[in-house]
Chain A
Amino acid sequence: MREFQPVRRLRTSREAAIAGVRGRQPPVSGRGGIGEPPAGPPTRTLPYTLVITALVLALTAAALAALALGSVRIPTADVIQILTGNADPSPYRTIVLDVRLPRVILGAAVGAGLAVVGTTLQALVRNPLADPFLLGVSSGASAAAVSVIVLGVGAGMATTVTIPAASFAGAFLALLVVYALAREPGGGFTTTRLILAGVAVSYVLSALTSLILVVSARADHLKEVLYWTLGGLGSARWDMLALPLTVLAVGTALLIALARPLDLLLVGEEGATVLGLDTARFRAGVFVLTSLVTGVLVAHSGAIGFVGLMVPHAARMLVGAAHRALLPVAALMGAVFLVVADLAARTVAAPQDIPVGVLTALTGGPFFLWLLRRGRAREGAPA
């Protein structure tokens, strides 16, 4: 019973949004459906093509819903007509194509990217409680981005370049620091050390962000920065999508290609070494890749938490822990999750646009506590 609660929670949060199409989707949460105990140990997995097909359908449905719903309701038939280019110019057309579509695409990209990065970081530290947000990587990216906005670092260059570049650097440095702090002398990562290091680094970086703000407070900066600290997709525009989409595509493709060495990381440092992996070099490469993806995404969406924590976990329950199968599923699930979460963020308190990071934290916080409890129960259980 317990095993499935978070999945149910995750589905409930998007229930309203996909209510209209849910009946047509194959169940995503396990063979038994919602609320039933899993039909076997988590190693028993669903047929892979079924999972991928279901997720692609779910993403399509979520995207259509996100294009149709909002402060202005647009009939789905009209949305499809607009998308296929058969509609006359109209206000609907502008809303769908210029306001909602770029936002849906950015949401899908950020969700997919955070899920892929979360999956990778969890392999890197061999702990299911890793997430770019919890490990301070996102905070590093936001702090660096805010410095660029407020302090005018790199003034003169286009902010479309300087902000993502700074975010990447900030993410990379934060990850290095947390990794160094959390690592046991023998090379292991206990949950306690990992979380403490992540929380400490996040706090220092948030404080730094606040300090920069207070010292050089300008009203327009405050609003922009608040947006970063909460995480939102409201600024999505067509002309800013190229960079995040490129980085996401390249980063994900590379990580899927690296599935074999990522699997090797799961058996520990010594295990990976004796199986022929140059762990130091590979780890350095993965640091750069994950920081790059996180940094560029955070530069466009702010720090959205817990997607990289919840999604990899759910994906592992579906297809197991081997990365060649896991990463594409995690990417698709992350995309679906964030598109739906953002739709909820736009609609639950309409016309207020709640930052989507607030919603993901509302679902992710309890999930995190559940994982922590479950981990403790397992550690306490006899071997």
Chain B
Amino acid sequence: MSPVLADVLQVTALIVALALVHRPLGDYMAAVFSSEKHLRVEKWIYRSVGANPNAEMRWSAYLRAVLAFSAVSVLLLYVLQRVQDVLPLSLGFKAITPDQAFNTAASFVSNTNWQSYSGEAAMSHVTQTAGLAVQNFVSAAVGIAVAVALVRGFARSRTGELGNFWADLVRGTVRILVPISVIAAIVLVAAGAIQNFGGIHELTTVTGQTQSISPGAVASQEAIKDLGTNGGGYFNANSAHPFENPNGFSNLLTIFLLLVIPFSLPRTFGRMVGNVKQGYAIVAAMGTIWFVGVVLVTWIEYAHPGAASQLAGGAMEGKEQRFGEGASSLFAVSTTMTSTGSVNSFHDSFSGLSGGVLLLGMMLGELAPGGVGSGLYGMLIMAVIAVFLAGLMVGRTPEYLGKKIGTREIKLAACYILITPALVLVGTAVAMALPDGKEAMTNVGAHGFSEVLYAYTSASNNNGSAFAGFGANTPFFNTTLGLCMLLGRFLPMVFVLALAGSLAEQTPVPATAGTLRTEKPLFTGLLVGAILIITGLTFFPALALGPLAEGLGS
């Protein structure tokens, strides 16, 4: 079988699996967030916390709960890293420095999972499982909760109430993320991923050298790392490490895990607003952008432009033999477009143009299909913008799902789409203007600039992947990237929840002949167009300086 045919089969198998699963999973998630009943374990959790899961929250109360929970998460994770050397199971690792501990805490709480540390050489068993793995779950559950609150804003009328954050957080964790992770983790171990709490295992190789085999509860973290679109690897090599991702099957499973919730949430949205076709229009826009990205990067990597790849006869630098170009390209696009950021190959060594496509995938705002929860609310914001643009064309007040998109709504949506570009471009500009930017580059010229641009794009959009040659573990980058991650995560949530509150208060307007039919392919086209125009106008100059200059120059 030719490699290209194998890749076609691989992508087809992935799409079929997602198509089969997204309906039952989407319906299940809609039921989870609509149900009146609490599970026994949930009742126990609410009782021990002292939270009332039935108290409805207005948007401001919902937001306060999100921010309070995230603030204590940052604090606890920071403390855990600072004292890991005196806790049990430390593996002999020292306490993490203050700037790196802040960066890592911001990174995992914001669902970014940018890593300026190297897992196998820095983090103890306790930090990995009780700190980092916990945030893998709860930061993902926070994302889903905020998305569900926005969906309730569309679904409800004449009320300001958006549900209860504590109930949404606990249900997302207990009923969705934990059960799927348990199954996925055990399948990963069956494929060869490790799962133990042992020490570093030393043995003598055939040629008489000493080799240290790393231990770790890897499979359990791997499962939620991808399911929760987190991306922080147990090891520095992330999903390229054979202990995280041992073969072609585990590789496809990993890609499936990181896509499955983002691609299923539009179904949940359709169910909750009472029209599944509205969900199809959203998922079609997500799927189109993702698929075009997969085709482009796979094609460019097989063509392997770039002097070194040409000389080698293929783009295998920074890729594993068991995956090859095809499975690496599929992974790279899926991880950058879902805000996951785990890698099974190193994007720094992809050809300049592929790197540009990966960058663009993040710059779109992580919505094709985006992170768990954040992808859906990002896409719904763009849908608001798209109906607004359509309204301008025909000169009538736009409406979406029976809700009027008035001045207040469009202002909130506009604020949302301005935040990450501002963080990316200002951050990159500051880093380039100071000596810190140049010192951190592994590569020179246009590719070096791409490394800095990629870092701020990845952090601000909460992706977490890197052009990893970039030497990010300095106080300057730990601090500025940490701030970008926190602001890039929580400022947009403020506007999303404010918008949700404003929509939920409205009285729905009945659809008329003049209403834009947002469940039709025409709207999907309009939505994709709006996304590309907004991102293109914002980022084209920066892309021209980095990946385009490199790709066209070589």
* Chains A and B are bound partners: no
Contacts from B to A (Cβ < 8 Å): none
